[in-house]
């Protein structure tokens, strides 16, 4: 697997895996401990088209995440909340649409994604336990962070978005 730094935000890494194809299909060695990522939980989330999840983070018990879109396509967005970081409050984003590409987001980031196909399955590894009592949320349209979710590019209008009540209230 090849890891490259995400341009402009330290410690965020794009992971690209080798796909070994043959007449049966393909094989991918998706994860190994060389990444230095200690998985505590594996999560799967199914999202219909136009679902927007996030932006969430756990201030206590922060979670680093390795995000993979195993079916469909998502626009994955992450916001640097590390106050000592040169990219504090900057956001990054990457389209993920296949098993062979992932993004590693370290602890100290808010995370969210927009589901772009009819059916989208996101698989992500986290390195700390889910602690809902410590979960914090930032609005997907927070004015200060001002994320470009590329709605126009994907032909999505804001009224089409499917957002949880908790996220809507932000």
Ligand X SMILES: Cc1cn([C@H]2C[C@H](O)[C@@H](COP(=O)(O)OP(=O)(O)O[C@H]3O[C@H](C)C(=O)[C@H](O)[C@H]3O)O2)c(=O)[nH]c1=O
Q: Which residues are catalytic?
A: 56, 124
Q: What's the rounded Cα separation, in Å, for the pair 72 and 30?
A: 18
Q: Closest CB to ligand X among 2 and 104?
A: 104
Q: Are 111 and 122 spatial neighbours (Cβ–Cβ below 8 Å)?
A: no
Q: Closest CB to ligand X among 19 and 166?
A: 166
- Residues in the interface with ligand X (CB under 6 A) total 10
DSSP 51: B
Alpha helix stretches (DSSP H) within the chain = 165-168
Binding ligand X (rule: CB under 6 A), the pick from 72, 106, 108, 112 is: 112
**How far is residue 12 from each of residues 27, 65, 162, 166, measured CA to CA in Å?**
26, 10, 27, 27
Decide if residue 54 touches ligand X (CB under 6 A). Answer: yes
Decide if residue 107 touches ligand X (CB under 6 A). Answer: no
Residue ranges that bind ligand X, judged by CB under 6 A:
43, 45, 53-54, 56, 111-113, 130, 164
């Amino acid at each position: 697997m090849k890891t490259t730094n995400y341009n402009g935000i330290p410690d965020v890494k794009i992971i690209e895996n080798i796909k070994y194809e043959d007449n049966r299909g393909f094989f991918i060695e998706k994860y190994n401990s060389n990444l230095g990522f200690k998985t505590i939980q594996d999560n799967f989330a199914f999202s219909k088209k136009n679902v927007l999840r996030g932006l969430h983070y756990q201030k206590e018990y922060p979670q680093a995440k390795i995000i993979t879109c195993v079916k469909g396509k998502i626009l994955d967005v992450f916001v640097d909340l590390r106050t000592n970081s040169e990219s504090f409050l900057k956001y990054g984003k990457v389209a993920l649409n296949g098993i062979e590409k992932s993004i590693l987001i370290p602890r100290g980031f808010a995370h969210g994604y927009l589901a772009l196909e009819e059916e989208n399955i996101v698989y992500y590894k986290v390195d700390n336990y889910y602690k809902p009592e410590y979960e914090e949320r930032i609005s997907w349209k927070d004015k200060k962070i001002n994320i470009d979710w590329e709605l126009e590019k994907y032909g999505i209008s804001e009224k089409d978005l499917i957002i949880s009540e908790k996220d809507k209230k932000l």
